Structure 1
Amino acid sequence: MTAESLWALAITALLAALLAWCFTPVVRAFAEPGTVWLRTRAHLPLAALAGWGAAVVAESAAELVALAAVGVGCSLLIVIDLVSHRLPDLLVAGTLGALLVPLVVASSLGHQWSALGRSLLAGMVLLLGYFLLALITPSGLGLGDVKFAAVIGCLLGWFGWSEVAMGTLLGFTINGVIALVLVLSRGGGRSSEIPFGPSMVFGAVLAVAISV
């Protein structure tokens, strides 16, 4: 890896962290001041990592903007979900828009309309799939998770159907492992609420990392 590439990675990570810092009041609106996630500004390193990863994966400037932007949005949503077990509709919608608008530009410049169509279709498929799961097991999934599934689906769909399947499976697997650890450590029980948003994000990230 050249020095120029390292600088590009570092600059993208820094810009993503700065953007996340600008949205700190949004996180504060859903988190109590004393919570460890807010006190340590956990969304900042998460956004920096997302920016770094976006620079590694992206093949064009527009794709870089899309992936970094959705990474920043997900960093905010992860912290909010960990603190309040909520995925606010406005932030979920904003994250989806921040992903799709640059992807439209990337598709028009690189003639990747099939990838964009697959992205949109995957978003709808996961949205419907999660909605059906929420109807079957309402205690396991909330409507916030259902709506957020559209973001994850569009992100993974941009890369391919195998990534959609792998990312979805990894999300459920990670959440299941967390639940098992909590039960075995006697820190939680069957009634313990485990935020699913972070597992969805990390499952998607792992799927993309494995595929590239």
Structure 2
Amino acid sequence: MDLTLTLLGAAFGGVAGALVPRAAYRFAVEPAEPWRTRCPQGHVLAGPWGGWVGLARCPSDGPAESGCRYGPGQVVAPVVSALVCGVLAAVVGSRPELAVLLLVTPFAVLLAAVDGAVHRLPDAVTLPLAATTVALLGATALLPGHGGNWLTAVAGSLALAALYGTLFLVNPAGMGLGDVKLALSVGAVLGWYGWPALLLGTFAAFGTGALFGVALLVTRRAHRRTAMAFGPFMLAGALIGVVTAS
């Protein structure tokens, strides 16, 4: 394990993760509502790229004001992003696909935060993420020293999306279209490392989701009909599959 690379990966994850809460706050609305354009205190969210990029805080209005903070995961998002990026850097090492995995991790944390808050995986993130992931892995396959296969990445992306699409058609109440679209990215990353990684990551997603559901039932924080966001477990399964296969 390259300690320097691990620390650099964690540092990148922490900095990128600090930008997640603002975007998560803007995306965390019900399907019929527009993306938020103001903070809870009414400040217009301005800044780079239409105000989507920046910390989830507004400046104070005066000496007596402390300035508002908003968005889910003010501390959790940067910590999770830093930990995941550090782990990926440690297990993947200096292979070129590490850059792709580090780049997609903050977006994965963003999707997990939004799905956890409102049970929604916005198309504005899932679809560009899928296309970008497949394209970047394709470019990575042209570089020496890579540790995967682009054709299985594409096949894995389509196969996992087909699986989740079938589950959606069978039981729309238990699986959302957002999960199907997220499966395109998850399948590409897992498929890059081969079919065993794809199977492991998929089973891990359902396994961790089932364990969490049982824990909620045991602690009486939910009942059998309680809806549960599945996106975070898909992403956790992807991490397990990548770590195991690397």
- Distance, in Å, in 2 between the alignment partners of 1:60 and 1:80 is 31
Asked if 1:17 corresponds to 2:14, the answer is yes
Asked if 1:40 corresponds to 2:74, the answer is yes
Q: Does structure 1 retain, via aligned residues, the 8 Å contact 2:20–2:106?
A: no
Instruction: Give me the TM-score of the superposition, normalised by structure 2.
Output: 0.77
- Superposed CA RMSD: 2.5
Choose 34-43 or 101-110, whichever is displaced more. 34-43
Deviation at residue 23 of structure 1 after TM alignment: 4.1
**Residues 145-179 of structure 1: CA deviation (Å, up to 9, x unaligned):** 11111111001001110010111011111111111
Gapped regions of structure 1 (runs ≥ 5): none
Partner of 2:174: 140
**Closer/same/farther in 2, CA of residues 154 and 185 from structure 1, 3 Å limit:** same
Partner of 2:236: 202
Match among 139, 142, 163 for residue 105 of structure 1: 139
> What amino acid sits opposite 1:14 in the alignment?
A
Aligned residue for 1:38, secondary structure, equals coil
Q: Does structure 2 retain, via aligned residues, the 8 Å contact 1:69–1:95?
A: no
Deviation at residue 20 of structure 1 after TM alignment: 2.7
Paired residue total: 209
Gapped regions of structure 2 (runs ≥ 5): 30-39, 41-67
Partner of 2:49: none
> What amino acid sits opposite 1:42 in the alignment?
V
Partner of 1:191: 225
Instruction: List structure 1 segments (4+ residues) > 4 angstroms apart after TM superposition.
Output: 32-37, 111-114
Q: What is the percent sequence identity of the aligned residues?
A: 27
Aligned residue for 1:67, secondary structure, equals helix
- Distance, in Å, in 1 between the alignment partners of 2:209 and 2:71 is 19
Instruction: Give me the TM-score of the superposition, normalised by structure 1.
Output: 0.88
Aligned residue for 1:76, secondary structure, equals helix
Q: Does structure 2 retain, via aligned residues, the 8 Å contact 1:69–1:98?
A: no
Greater share of residues in helix: 1
Asked if 1:86 corresponds to 2:85, the answer is no
Partner of 2:53: none
Partner of 1:125: 159
